[in-house]
């Protein structure tokens, strides 16, 4: 290992399991952020929460796409290749996972694999780095979520997100059962927005 | 030809919960997609397990991929913790993952089950893992995977309704009593595994996460918490569950699923809770049934 | 008073003890050694390696001993171990043309370069029980220093290459260098490519493939087969190491290869050519290699423009039922308790009978 390479999971078995469990509950309860306890210090702009999800879920079987800020830093690619072994791809449509450090500038969802009617699972999971979540006490903005995993409805907010986020999520929902799934990671938490969720203006 | 060399045996050691990390990641990815597409069967590369296909390898792989060191695991078969296959699977995880196990539904964080849903309402921090033999609800109407995949893609479930309606025409009843098909979140028709249809209503709006693993058929599917799960039926033949004429003979419970136990060859029989934890807990709370042993005080008096 | 049956744990423990006792058999006799199994029950070991998809004679011998000679159980033990092994990569395609040949027969030519080499075969033995093998000293004259073993024959050309040079048989597909689909690492969805089909058949149950292959000879997808060649011997396994930039030989395996030469195909535009069915199995498993080649050829009906309709041509049916570990598990799972479901059925049957009885009574009154 090159001396400069940041360390991976301290305990590859249990840290991966804990990160996966957080992602699992996040997608099972859309809009409810789950604590993600990470001790990683990956090279910037890769955030520890997003790095933990990649290390837990990706390997040589999962082509990974990085957005411009991440792919501009060679240490990020070196870190992900060494610890996850995931092949990095230049075309978002070829990726099983996409890692996005700048959500405001992220490509349209249609750029990513959205599955087919026969195999809707053959679609991308987008790991989106955010700075923080806004909860029900946060009155400025936020969305109302409904769908499987939600008892009634739940208020949810996160920042930063693309300006057209509600429209994107509506288009994604309209494709169901096709579509992409989002894991929003940051501030020690991960929240899930699976394709099954309906996002309305709060 | 040289004589075969039988060398020293390889040093065999297993990872936490048996599966290697790459396999766990593959299963975990399938679980995430299954949760995102409720009721859709995600293909996964099921591994050979050290127990036979058809004996819970799908459930075991899902449990192994989800399980962490702090989990408390309960395993039931036919509702009981002490049936042989439940004992064998629980023993497997005690040995390979050294996790705590329990027979108590309320103490468990993960419950692996074959053929039943516990009577006690599950909580939102629990995971119910079903063992599934045939995940395809349309399999007995159309054996070909290539065909059923199209039917699911097109949401074309008329075949299933025709089958159920033919039952009504022939028997006056829908003849499906277990593995009764459900529609999940208004989209996919799903096989709930061979639970009695008595248990179907428990799947609807269930606070727990429900995961389904079919090892031999290599499919994983899921129902997120609080998801609408509707048993297929007709306006003039609404879905109805079995009702037992008598309460449990040991704890007096009503509105629960009962096992029929033959007592002799002269028609003697009794009905007892299939959920052994539920029954035991009720008995400990002092509930009694018509065949309960005499109360402790009475026993002591008699002695 | 009634107490529900408990004690699954104790029952299982007792059953395992009984099993161990039965396995050991008569303790006044010496236990069979792995060396004896690997050296004297070689064809059983070969079958376990082939269908277990793991080339290791010692482990196969151990599995046979542990399974009390039940080969499907032994295959299962090997598979469950195999699945825990890390995967380093895939080997180069085996070059069976460079095989150190122990046996090679062709039914299509009387003589050919390299000749016909009978080798160790049951063919032409009279199937008469040999009571001399039953003697207490286990065939005294057979013990002692091994008789000299013939050196393997030098590499000899494959029959299909000889007729292929004339363009008389369809060429083998070229290796495109791509990583082949791995049925043990990814879920299969139908239809499948040829590599996936061959992998599935190679670990498929010998008896199942034998029956299906037999059915093609009896008119269910008849393809007019000739045994172009069966060869058995040792081939080198070569692995590319991209990090090192060269290839290394990681050892030798014994395999049986069967190239079936089948009825020709052609049209006004394309000159007629014979077609192939292919079988390759670990160890000496001729019956399996031949059956595999017949079934493989039958499954190619679509690409060769043949009429479908026979069981052996039904890809999804053939491939999804050929694995004996899956099959035995699901058949035998019927032994598990099903009383919850049976109770549900009992209730319905009783209810329907009561309704009919009530109707009859009403009609009679």
Residue-wise pLDDT tens digits, C287-313: 999 999 999 999 999 988 888 999 999
In a 3-state reduction of DSSP, which class is residue C58? Answer: helix
pLDDT beneath 70, residues of chain C: 1-7, 136-148
Q: Which residue of chain B has the CA closest to A13?
A: B21
Q: Which residues on adjacent β-strands are paired with residue B80?
A: B77
Neighbouring chains of B at 3+ CB pairs under 8 Å are: A, C
CA separation, residue B160 to residues B175, B231, C206 (Å):
13, 12, 37
Angstrom distance (rounded) from CA C176 to CA B72 = 50
Beta-carbon separation of C345 and B272 below 8 A: no
Q: Which candidate from B43, B115, B172 shows the least CB-CB separation from C341?
A: B115
d(C-alpha C315, C-alpha C201), whole Å: 11
Residue of B nearest to A26 (CA): B32
pLDDT of residue A2 exceeding 60: no
Q: What is the pLDDT of residues C265-291, one digit of tens each?
A: 777 777 888 999 999 999 999 999 999
Whether A23 sits inside 8 A of B33 (CB atoms) is: no
What pLDDT is attached to residue A98? 98
The DSSP code sequence of chain A is: --TTPPP--SSHHHHHHHHHHHHHHHHHSTT--EE------PPTTS-HHHHHHHHHH--TTS-EEE-HHHHT-HHHHHHHHHHH-PPB-S-GGG-SEEEES-GGGPPPGGGS-B--SS-TTSB-EEEEE-SEEE-TT--SS-EEEESTT-SS-EEEEEES--TTHHHHHHHHHHTTTS--EEEEEETTEEEEE-TT-EEEE-
pLDDT at B295: 64
- In three-state secondary structure terms, C107 is coil
State residue A179 phi and psi, 5-degree precision.
Answer: 130, 170
Strands (E), C266-321: 273-282
Task: Tell me the nearest-neighbour CA distance from B73 into chain A, angstroms.
Answer: 15
Which residue ranges form the domains of chain B, and what is each CATH number? Answer: 21-231 (3.40.50.11310), 243-292 (no CATH)
**Shortest distance, CA B285 to any CA of chain C (angstroms):** 18
Closest CA to C253 of C54, C103, C71: C54
User: Taking CA C291 as the corner, what is the angle to CA C287 and CA C297, rounded to the nearest 5 degrees?
Assistant: 150
Chain B residue with CA closest to C337: the answer is B78
Cα–Cα distance measured from residue B177 to residue B183, given in angstroms and rounded to the nearest whole number: 16
Q: How many CA atoms lie within 13 A of A142 on its CB side?
A: 19
- Tell me if chain B has a CB within 8 Å of the CB of C337: yes
Q: Tell me which residues of B are annotated as active site.
A: 39, 248, 251, 273, 279
B1 with C102: Cβ contact below 8 A: yes
**Chain B residue nearest residue C119, CA to CA:** B1
Q: Is B34 on the interface with A (CB under 8 A)?
A: yes
Q: Do C341 and B196 touch (CB under 8 A)?
A: yes
Quick one: pLDDT at residue A141?
65
For residue B7, the chain C residue with the least C-alpha distance is: C58
For chain B, say whether C341 makes contact (Cβ under 8 Å).
Answer: yes
User: Which residues contact residue C345 at a Cβ distance below 8 angstroms, ignoring those fewer than 6 apart?
Assistant: B177, B178
| Rounded Cα distance, A124 and A115, in Å | 8
CA atoms A131, A134, A140, A141: torsion sign: positive
Alpha-carbon span C79 to C71, nearest angstrom: 12
pLDDT digit string (tens) for chain B, length 303 residues: 444 556 667 777 788 999 999 999 999 999 999 999 999 999 999 999 999 999 999 999 999 999 999 999 999 999 999 998 999 999 999 999 999 999 999 999 999 999 999 999 999 999 999 999 999 999 989 999 999 999 999 999 999 999 888 888 888 888 899 999 999 999 999 999 999 999 999 999 999 999 999 999 999 999 999 999 999 999 888 999 988 999 999 999 999 999 999 998 898 999 999 999 999 999 999 999 998 877 655 444 444
Q: Are strands A181-186 and A125-129 parallel, antiparallel or unpaired?
A: parallel
How close, in Å, is residue C126 to chain B by CA atoms? 24
Q: Residue B167 has what pLDDT?
A: 86
Distance CA B52, CA C325 (A): 7
The phi, psi pair for C128, rounded to 5°, reads -110, 135
Residues of B in contact with C189 (CB under 8 A): 43, 145, 149
Which residues on C lie below 8 Å from B91 (Cβ)? 9, 12
Please name the residues in contact with B60: beta carbons below 8 A apart, sequence gap of 6 or more: B49, B51, B89, B92, B112, B131, B213, B215
pTM of the model: 0.91
The DSSP secondary-structure symbol of C118 reads -
Residues of A in contact with B40 (CB under 8 A): 120-121, 177
- 3-state SS class at B269: strand
pLDDT of residue C271: 84
Supply the pLDDT for residue B183.
98
**Digit-coded pLDDT (tens) for A91-146:** 999 999 999 999 999 999 999 999 999 999 999 999 999 999 986 555 556 899 99
Cβ pairs bridging B and C (under 8 Å): 176
Give the CA dihedral C324, C327, C329, C330, nearest 10 degrees.
Answer: 180
CA B131-B135-B138 angle, 5° bins: 150
| Helix C71-82 vs helix C57-66: crossing angle, to nearest 10 | 130
Going from the N-terminus, what domains does chain A have, and what CATH number goes with each?
A: 12-201 (3.40.50.11310)
Residues 110-169 on C with a CB inside 8 Å of B are: 146, 149
Q: Report the C-alpha gap between C118 and C105 in whole angstroms.
A: 7
Asked if C191 is an interface residue toward chain B (Cβ–Cβ < 8 A), one would say: yes
Instruction: Pick from A19, A145, A148 the residue to mutate for testing the B interface (most B CBs within 10 Å).
Output: A148
User: Taking CB atoms and an 8 Å limit, are A176 and B66 in contact across chains?
Assistant: no
Interface contact flag, B225 A120, Cβ < 8 Å: no
Residue carrying structure tokens 């996160």: A158
> Chains near C, with 3+ CB pairs < 8 A?
B
Residue B301: predicted pLDDT:
47
pLDDT at A1 over 50: no
Strands A34-35 and A189-193 turn out to be antiparallel
ipTM of predicted complex:
0.96
Q: Which of B:205-264 have CB within 8 Å of A?
A: 205, 207, 209, 222-228
Q: Which residues of A touch B26 (CB under 8 A)?
A: 61
Q: For residue A148, is pLDDT > 50?
A: yes
Contact C2 B78 (CB under 8 A): no
């Amino acid at each position: 290992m090159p001396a400069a390479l940041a360390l991976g999971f301290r305990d590859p078995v249990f840290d991966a399991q804990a990160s996966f469990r957080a992602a699992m509950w996040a997608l099972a309860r859309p809009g409810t952020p789950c604590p993600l306890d990470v001790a990683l210090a990956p090279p910037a702009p890769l955030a520890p929460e997003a790095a933990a999800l990649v290390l837990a879920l990706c390997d040589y079987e999962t082509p990974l796409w990085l957005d411009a800020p991440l792919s501009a830093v060679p240490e990020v690619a070196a870190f992900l290749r060494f610890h996850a072994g995931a092949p990095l791809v230049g075309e978002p449509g070829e990726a099983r996972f996409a890692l996005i450090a700048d959500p405001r500038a992220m490509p349209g969802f249609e750029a990513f694999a959205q599955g087919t009617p026969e195999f809707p699972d053959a679609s991308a999971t987008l790991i989106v780095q955010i700075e923080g979540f806004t909860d029900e006490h946060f009155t400025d903005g936020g969305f109302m979520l409904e769908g499987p995993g939600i008892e009634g409805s739940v208020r949810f907010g996160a920042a930063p997100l693309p300006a057209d986020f509600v429209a994107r999520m509506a288009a994604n929902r309209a494709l169901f059962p096709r579509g992409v799934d989002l894991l929003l990671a940051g501030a020690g938490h991960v929240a899930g927005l699976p394709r099954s969720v309906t996002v309305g203006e709060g | 030809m040289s004589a075969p060399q039988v060398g020293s045996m390889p040093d065999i050691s297993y990872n936490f919960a048996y599966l290697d990390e790459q396999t766990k990641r593959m299963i975990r990815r399938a679980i995430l997609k299954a949760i995102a597409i409720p009721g859709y069967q995600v293909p996964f590369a099921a591994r050979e397990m050290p127990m036979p296909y058809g004996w819970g390898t799908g459930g075991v792989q899902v449990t192994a991929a989800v399980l962490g060191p702090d989990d408390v695991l309960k395993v039931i078969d036919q509702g009981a913790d002490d049936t042989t296959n439940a004992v064998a699977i629980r023993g497997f995880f005690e040995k390979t993952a050294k996790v705590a196990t329990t027979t108590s539904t309320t103490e468990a964080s993960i419950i692996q089950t074959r053929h039943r849903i516990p009577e006690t309402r599950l909580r939102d921090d629990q995971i119910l893992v079903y063992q599934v033999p045939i995940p395809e609800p349309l399999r007995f109407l159309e054996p070909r995977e290539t065909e059923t995949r199209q039917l699911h893609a097109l949401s074309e479930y008329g075949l299933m309704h025709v089958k159920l309606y033919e039952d009504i025409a022939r028997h006056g009843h829908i003849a499906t009593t277990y593995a009764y098909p459900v529609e999940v979140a208004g989209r996919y028709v799903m096989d709930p595994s061979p639970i009695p249809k008595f248990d179907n209503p428990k799947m609807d709006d269930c606070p727990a996460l429900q995961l389904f693993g079919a090892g031999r058929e290599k499919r994983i599917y899921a129902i997120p918490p609080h998801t609408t799960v509707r048993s297929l039926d007709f306006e003039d033949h609404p879905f109805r569950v079995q009702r037992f004429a008598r309460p449990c003979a040991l704890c007096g419970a009503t509105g629960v699923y009962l096992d029929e136990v033959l007592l002799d060859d002269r028609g003697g029989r009794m009905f007892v809770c299939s959920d052994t934890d539920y029954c035991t807990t009720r008995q400990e709370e002092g509930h009694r049934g018509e065949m309960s042993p005499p109360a402790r005080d009475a026993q002591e008096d008699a002695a | 008073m009634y107490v529900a049956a408990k004690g699954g744990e104790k029952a299982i423990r007792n059953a395992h003890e009984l099993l161990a006792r039965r396995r050991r058999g008569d303790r006044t006799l010496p236990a069979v050694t792995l060396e004896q199994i690997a050296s004297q029950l070689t064809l059983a070991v070969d079958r376990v390696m082939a269908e277990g998809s793991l080339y290791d004679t010692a482990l196969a011998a151990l599995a046979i001993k542990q399974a009390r000679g039940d080969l499907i159980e032994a295959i299962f033990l090997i598979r469950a171990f195999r699945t825990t092994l890390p995967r380093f990569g895939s080997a180069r395609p085996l070059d069976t043309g460079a095989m150190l040949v122990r046996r090679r027969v062709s039914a299509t030519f009387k003589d050919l370069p390299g000749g016909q080499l009978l080798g160790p075969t049951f063919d032409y033995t009279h199937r008469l029980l040999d009571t001399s093998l039953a003697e207490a000293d286990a065939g005294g004259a057979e013990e002692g220093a091994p008789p000299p073993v013939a050196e393997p024959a030098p590499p000899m050309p494959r029959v299909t290459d000889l007729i292929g040079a004339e363009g008389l048989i369809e060429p083998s597909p070229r290796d495109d260098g791509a990583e082949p689909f791995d049925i043990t690492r990814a879920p299969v969805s139908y239809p499948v490519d040829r590599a996936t089909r061959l992998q599935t058949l190679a670990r498929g149950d010998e008896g199942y493939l034998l029956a299906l292959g037999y059915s093609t000879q009896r008119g269910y997808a008849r393809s007019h087969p000739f045994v172009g060649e069966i060869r058995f011997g040792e081939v080198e396994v070569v692995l590319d190491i991209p990090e090192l930039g060269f290839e290394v030989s990681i050892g030798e395996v014994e395999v049986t290869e069967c190239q079936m030469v089948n009825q020709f195909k052609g049209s006004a535009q394309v000159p007629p050519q014979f077609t192939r069915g292919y079988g390759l199995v670990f160890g000496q498993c001729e019956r399996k290699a031949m059956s595999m080649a017949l079934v493989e050829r039958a499954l190619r009906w679509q690409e060769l423009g043949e009429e479908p309709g026979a069981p052996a041509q039904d890809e999804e049916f053939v491939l999804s039922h050929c694995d004996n570990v899956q099959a035995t598990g699901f058949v035998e799972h019927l032994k598990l308790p099903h009383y919850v479901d049976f109770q549900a059925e009992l209730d319905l049957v009783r209810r329907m009978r009561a309704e009919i009885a009530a109707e009859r009574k009403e009609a009679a009154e």
